Structure 1
Amino acid sequence: MSDIDPMTGEVVQRPLEVVAVDIAALDEQELAQLFPTPVQAAGALLKARQAVARAPYALRKAKEKLRAAERDLKLAIARATLELAEQFQGMSVSERSKLAEADTRVIDARETADMAWIELEYAKDWDRALGRDVELLRSVNANMRAETK
Protein backbone atom coordinates (compact mmCIF):
# COMPACT_ATOMS: atom_id res chain seq x y z
CA MET A 1 0.00 0.00 0.00
CA SER A 2 1.16 3.55 -0.54
CA ASP A 3 0.08 7.10 -0.03
CA ILE A 4 0.70 10.18 -2.14
CA ASP A 5 2.53 13.13 -0.62
CA PRO A 6 0.17 16.06 -1.37
CA MET A 7 3.01 18.57 -1.71
CA THR A 8 5.25 16.68 -4.14
CA GLY A 9 2.93 14.07 -5.64
CA GLU A 10 5.47 11.38 -4.76
CA VAL A 11 4.43 7.94 -3.61
CA VAL A 12 5.25 7.26 0.04
CA GLN A 13 5.32 3.62 1.09
CA ARG A 14 3.40 2.50 4.14
CA PRO A 15 3.11 -0.97 5.70
CA LEU A 16 0.69 -3.47 4.21
CA GLU A 17 -2.45 -4.25 6.16
CA VAL A 18 -3.47 -7.84 6.79
CA VAL A 19 -6.72 -8.87 5.13
CA ALA A 20 -8.66 -11.94 6.25
CA VAL A 21 -8.50 -14.70 3.65
CA ASP A 22 -11.02 -17.19 5.05
CA ILE A 23 -14.20 -15.20 4.37
CA ALA A 24 -16.47 -18.15 5.20
CA ALA A 25 -15.20 -18.11 8.80
CA LEU A 26 -16.14 -14.44 9.33
CA ASP A 27 -19.31 -13.42 11.12
CA GLU A 28 -21.64 -10.69 9.83
CA GLN A 29 -19.93 -7.93 11.81
CA GLU A 30 -16.50 -8.85 10.43
CA LEU A 31 -17.88 -9.07 6.88
CA ALA A 32 -19.48 -5.65 7.21
CA GLN A 33 -16.10 -4.20 8.21
CA LEU A 34 -14.60 -5.40 4.90
CA PHE A 35 -16.86 -3.05 2.91
CA PRO A 36 -16.63 0.73 3.01
CA THR A 37 -19.36 2.85 4.45
CA PRO A 38 -20.97 5.46 2.18
CA VAL A 39 -18.94 8.15 3.96
CA GLN A 40 -15.69 6.22 3.44
CA ALA A 41 -16.49 5.70 -0.25
CA ALA A 42 -17.28 9.40 -0.69
CA GLY A 43 -14.06 10.30 1.13
CA ALA A 44 -12.07 7.99 -1.14
CA LEU A 45 -13.61 9.67 -4.18
CA LEU A 46 -12.66 13.11 -2.83
CA LYS A 47 -9.06 11.97 -2.18
CA ALA A 48 -8.84 10.46 -5.67
CA ARG A 49 -10.12 13.69 -7.22
CA GLN A 50 -7.51 15.66 -5.27
CA ALA A 51 -4.81 13.33 -6.61
CA VAL A 52 -6.15 13.80 -10.14
CA ALA A 53 -5.91 17.55 -9.66
CA ARG A 54 -2.21 17.19 -8.78
CA ALA A 55 -1.45 14.89 -11.71
CA PRO A 56 -0.81 17.65 -14.29
CA TYR A 57 1.78 19.20 -11.97
CA ALA A 58 3.55 15.84 -11.54
CA LEU A 59 3.47 15.23 -15.31
CA ARG A 60 4.84 18.69 -16.06
CA LYS A 61 7.66 18.22 -13.55
CA ALA A 62 8.53 14.82 -15.03
CA LYS A 63 8.57 16.29 -18.57
CA GLU A 64 10.79 19.17 -17.45
CA LYS A 65 13.16 16.74 -15.77
CA LEU A 66 13.35 14.62 -18.94
CA ARG A 67 14.01 17.68 -21.14
CA ALA A 68 16.79 18.83 -18.81
CA ALA A 69 18.34 15.35 -18.74
CA GLU A 70 18.23 15.10 -22.54
CA ARG A 71 19.86 18.54 -22.83
CA ASP A 72 22.58 17.49 -20.38
CA LEU A 73 23.15 14.31 -22.41
CA LYS A 74 23.60 16.31 -25.62
CA LEU A 75 26.04 18.62 -23.85
CA ALA A 76 28.01 15.70 -22.44
CA ILE A 77 28.29 14.14 -25.91
CA ALA A 78 29.37 17.48 -27.39
CA ARG A 79 32.03 18.03 -24.71
CA ALA A 80 33.39 14.51 -25.10
CA THR A 81 33.40 14.87 -28.89
CA LEU A 82 35.34 18.15 -28.67
CA GLU A 83 37.90 16.61 -26.31
CA LEU A 84 38.30 13.68 -28.69
CA ALA A 85 38.81 16.13 -31.57
CA GLU A 86 41.90 17.43 -29.77
CA GLN A 87 43.24 13.91 -29.25
CA PHE A 88 42.28 12.35 -32.60
CA GLN A 89 42.42 15.02 -35.27
CA GLY A 90 42.09 12.59 -38.17
CA MET A 91 38.71 11.21 -37.02
CA SER A 92 35.43 12.32 -38.48
CA VAL A 93 32.76 13.93 -36.31
CA SER A 94 30.50 10.86 -36.51
CA GLU A 95 33.37 8.59 -35.42
CA ARG A 96 34.17 10.89 -32.50
CA SER A 97 30.48 10.99 -31.50
CA LYS A 98 30.36 7.19 -31.43
CA LEU A 99 33.56 7.06 -29.41
CA ALA A 100 32.20 9.73 -27.04
CA GLU A 101 29.46 7.27 -25.98
CA ALA A 102 32.12 5.45 -23.91
CA ASP A 103 32.93 8.57 -21.89
CA THR A 104 31.82 8.24 -18.25
CA ARG A 105 30.10 11.63 -18.30
CA VAL A 106 28.05 10.56 -21.31
CA ILE A 107 27.21 7.23 -19.71
CA ASP A 108 26.08 9.00 -16.52
CA ALA A 109 24.05 11.55 -18.49
CA ARG A 110 22.40 8.79 -20.54
CA GLU A 111 21.51 6.91 -17.35
CA THR A 112 19.99 10.09 -15.88
CA ALA A 113 17.98 10.65 -19.07
CA ASP A 114 16.79 7.04 -19.04
CA MET A 115 15.66 7.35 -15.43
CA ALA A 116 13.85 10.60 -16.21
CA TRP A 117 12.07 8.87 -19.10
CA ILE A 118 11.04 6.00 -16.80
CA GLU A 119 9.73 8.50 -14.24
CA LEU A 120 7.70 10.26 -16.94
CA GLU A 121 6.20 6.95 -18.08
CA TYR A 122 5.39 6.13 -14.45
CA ALA A 123 3.71 9.53 -14.05
CA LYS A 124 1.64 8.89 -17.19
CA ASP A 125 0.59 5.46 -15.90
CA TRP A 126 -0.24 6.98 -12.52
CA ASP A 127 -2.41 9.61 -14.21
CA ARG A 128 -4.31 6.95 -16.17
CA ALA A 129 -4.72 4.79 -13.06
CA LEU A 130 -6.10 7.74 -11.11
CA GLY A 131 -8.66 8.32 -13.85
CA ARG A 132 -9.76 4.68 -13.65
CA ASP A 133 -9.91 4.89 -9.86
CA VAL A 134 -12.15 7.95 -10.00
CA GLU A 135 -14.52 6.20 -12.43
CA LEU A 136 -14.62 3.11 -10.20
CA LEU A 137 -15.24 5.19 -7.08
CA ARG A 138 -17.99 7.15 -8.84
CA SER A 139 -19.69 3.84 -9.64
CA VAL A 140 -19.30 2.61 -6.05
CA ASN A 141 -20.72 5.89 -4.72
CA ALA A 142 -23.67 5.77 -7.14
CA ASN A 143 -24.44 2.20 -6.11
CA MET A 144 -24.20 3.05 -2.41
CA ARG A 145 -26.54 6.00 -2.80
CA ALA A 146 -29.06 3.72 -4.52
CA GLU A 147 -28.73 1.07 -1.78
CA THR A 148 -29.09 3.52 1.12
CA LYS A 149 -32.29 5.10 -0.24
Structure 2
Amino acid sequence: IDYSEQSLLEAKVGLERMYTSLHGQAVADEYVASDYSDRYRKAMDDDFNTPVAISVLFDLVRELNKAKASTAESSSLLAKELVVLAEQLGLLAQDPEYFLKNSVVNDGISEGEIESLIADRIQARKDKDFAKSDEIRDALADQGITLLDTREGTSWTRR
Protein backbone atom coordinates (compact mmCIF):
# COMPACT_ATOMS: atom_id res chain seq x y z
CA ILE A 1 0.00 0.00 0.00
CA ASP A 2 1.35 3.41 -1.01
CA TYR A 3 0.74 5.47 2.14
CA SER A 4 1.77 9.09 2.58
CA GLU A 5 0.24 12.36 3.72
CA GLN A 6 0.13 13.40 0.06
CA SER A 7 -1.79 10.28 -0.99
CA LEU A 8 -4.27 10.81 1.87
CA LEU A 9 -4.81 14.41 0.78
CA GLU A 10 -5.32 13.32 -2.83
CA ALA A 11 -7.87 10.71 -1.72
CA LYS A 12 -9.73 13.33 0.35
CA VAL A 13 -9.80 15.78 -2.56
CA GLY A 14 -11.08 13.05 -4.88
CA LEU A 15 -13.83 12.04 -2.48
CA GLU A 16 -14.85 15.68 -2.04
CA ARG A 17 -15.03 15.97 -5.83
CA MET A 18 -17.45 13.02 -5.96
CA TYR A 19 -19.62 14.45 -3.18
CA THR A 20 -19.56 17.90 -4.81
CA SER A 21 -20.92 16.45 -8.04
CA LEU A 22 -23.81 14.91 -6.08
CA HIS A 23 -24.50 17.97 -3.91
CA GLY A 24 -27.94 19.34 -4.74
CA GLN A 25 -28.38 16.72 -7.46
CA ALA A 26 -31.54 14.62 -7.65
CA VAL A 27 -30.79 10.90 -7.66
CA ALA A 28 -33.06 8.62 -9.68
CA ASP A 29 -34.88 5.81 -7.89
CA GLU A 30 -34.09 3.33 -10.63
CA TYR A 31 -30.59 2.14 -11.45
CA VAL A 32 -29.85 1.86 -15.17
CA ALA A 33 -26.48 0.32 -16.02
CA SER A 34 -24.43 1.99 -18.72
CA ASP A 35 -20.98 1.63 -20.22
CA TYR A 36 -19.59 2.98 -16.93
CA SER A 37 -21.06 0.02 -15.04
CA ASP A 38 -19.59 -2.39 -17.59
CA ARG A 39 -16.14 -0.80 -17.33
CA TYR A 40 -16.36 -0.78 -13.52
CA ARG A 41 -17.37 -4.46 -13.39
CA LYS A 42 -14.55 -5.42 -15.77
CA ALA A 43 -12.04 -3.61 -13.58
CA MET A 44 -13.30 -5.33 -10.44
CA ASP A 45 -13.34 -8.70 -12.21
CA ASP A 46 -9.69 -8.11 -13.11
CA ASP A 47 -8.33 -9.11 -9.69
CA PHE A 48 -10.15 -6.24 -7.94
CA ASN A 49 -8.35 -3.57 -9.96
CA THR A 50 -9.59 -0.73 -7.76
CA PRO A 51 -7.40 2.00 -9.34
CA VAL A 52 -9.13 1.39 -12.68
CA ALA A 53 -12.54 1.09 -11.00
CA ILE A 54 -12.02 4.43 -9.24
CA SER A 55 -10.92 6.04 -12.51
CA VAL A 56 -14.25 4.90 -13.97
CA LEU A 57 -16.01 6.63 -11.06
CA PHE A 58 -14.18 9.86 -11.90
CA ASP A 59 -15.15 9.50 -15.56
CA LEU A 60 -18.73 9.16 -14.36
CA VAL A 61 -18.35 12.27 -12.17
CA ARG A 62 -17.09 14.21 -15.20
CA GLU A 63 -20.07 13.04 -17.27
CA LEU A 64 -22.49 13.85 -14.44
CA ASN A 65 -21.12 17.39 -14.17
CA LYS A 66 -21.63 17.89 -17.92
CA ALA A 67 -25.16 16.43 -17.78
CA LYS A 68 -26.18 18.69 -14.90
CA ALA A 69 -26.07 21.61 -17.31
CA SER A 70 -28.36 19.93 -19.82
CA THR A 71 -31.08 17.54 -18.65
CA ALA A 72 -32.23 16.69 -15.16
CA GLU A 73 -33.29 13.17 -16.15
CA SER A 74 -29.93 12.09 -17.52
CA SER A 75 -28.06 13.68 -14.61
CA SER A 76 -30.27 11.93 -12.03
CA LEU A 77 -29.66 8.56 -13.74
CA LEU A 78 -25.90 9.19 -13.80
CA ALA A 79 -26.02 10.23 -10.13
CA LYS A 80 -27.77 6.97 -9.24
CA GLU A 81 -25.20 4.96 -11.17
CA LEU A 82 -22.35 6.80 -9.43
CA VAL A 83 -23.84 6.11 -5.99
CA VAL A 84 -24.52 2.43 -6.74
CA LEU A 85 -21.00 1.80 -8.04
CA ALA A 86 -19.23 3.85 -5.37
CA GLU A 87 -21.14 2.16 -2.55
CA GLN A 88 -19.60 -1.14 -3.63
CA LEU A 89 -16.28 0.33 -2.45
CA GLY A 90 -17.82 1.83 0.69
CA LEU A 91 -17.82 5.33 -0.81
CA LEU A 92 -20.55 8.00 -0.97
CA ALA A 93 -22.50 6.54 1.94
CA GLN A 94 -23.14 9.95 3.54
CA ASP A 95 -25.44 12.77 2.54
CA PRO A 96 -23.38 15.06 0.26
CA GLU A 97 -24.28 18.24 2.14
CA TYR A 98 -23.36 16.69 5.51
CA PHE A 99 -20.08 15.34 4.16
CA LEU A 100 -19.04 18.60 2.51
CA LYS A 101 -19.79 20.66 5.61
CA ASN A 102 -17.99 18.23 7.91
CA SER A 103 -15.22 16.88 5.70
CA VAL A 104 -12.42 18.15 7.93
CA VAL A 105 -11.99 18.30 11.67
CA ASN A 106 -13.69 21.46 12.82
CA ASP A 107 -11.19 23.14 15.12
CA GLY A 108 -11.93 26.64 13.87
CA ILE A 109 -15.10 28.46 12.96
CA SER A 110 -18.45 26.91 13.95
CA GLU A 111 -21.38 26.25 11.65
CA GLY A 112 -23.40 28.92 13.46
CA GLU A 113 -20.65 31.51 12.96
CA ILE A 114 -20.46 30.61 9.27
CA GLU A 115 -24.22 31.00 8.83
CA SER A 116 -24.12 34.34 10.67
CA LEU A 117 -21.33 35.65 8.45
CA ILE A 118 -23.20 34.48 5.35
CA ALA A 119 -26.29 36.39 6.55
CA ASP A 120 -24.11 39.50 7.06
CA ARG A 121 -22.67 39.06 3.57
CA ILE A 122 -26.12 38.72 2.02
CA GLN A 123 -27.21 41.92 3.77
CA ALA A 124 -24.04 43.70 2.58
CA ARG A 125 -24.82 42.66 -0.98
CA LYS A 126 -28.41 43.92 -0.65
CA ASP A 127 -26.98 47.22 0.63
CA LYS A 128 -24.58 47.23 -2.35
CA ASP A 129 -21.63 47.25 0.07
CA PHE A 130 -19.55 44.97 -2.13
CA ALA A 131 -16.31 45.73 -0.29
CA LYS A 132 -17.81 44.34 2.94
CA SER A 133 -19.28 41.38 1.03
CA ASP A 134 -15.87 40.57 -0.45
CA GLU A 135 -14.21 41.01 2.95
CA ILE A 136 -16.57 38.45 4.51
CA ARG A 137 -16.04 36.00 1.62
CA ASP A 138 -12.25 36.38 1.98
CA ALA A 139 -12.41 35.92 5.76
CA LEU A 140 -14.39 32.71 5.31
CA ALA A 141 -11.96 31.52 2.61
CA ASP A 142 -9.09 32.09 5.06
CA GLN A 143 -10.93 29.74 7.45
CA GLY A 144 -11.20 27.08 4.73
CA ILE A 145 -14.83 27.84 3.83
CA THR A 146 -15.90 27.96 0.18
CA LEU A 147 -19.09 29.83 -0.68
CA LEU A 148 -21.29 28.96 -3.63
CA ASP A 149 -23.86 31.56 -4.70
CA THR A 150 -26.84 30.29 -6.71
CA ARG A 151 -30.33 31.54 -7.49
CA GLU A 152 -31.58 29.48 -4.55
CA GLY A 153 -29.18 31.17 -2.12
CA THR A 154 -25.70 30.73 -0.73
CA SER A 155 -24.34 27.35 0.31
CA TRP A 156 -20.94 26.53 1.74
CA THR A 157 -18.45 23.72 2.18
CA ARG A 158 -15.24 23.23 4.11
CA ARG A 159 -12.00 22.70 2.23
TM bin (shorter chain): under 0.3
The structure number with the bigger radius of gyration is 1
Higher helix share: 1
TM-score between both structures, scaled by the size of structure 1:
0.26
TM-score between both structures, scaled by the size of structure 2:
0.25
Higher relative contact order (CA 8 A, sep 6+): 1
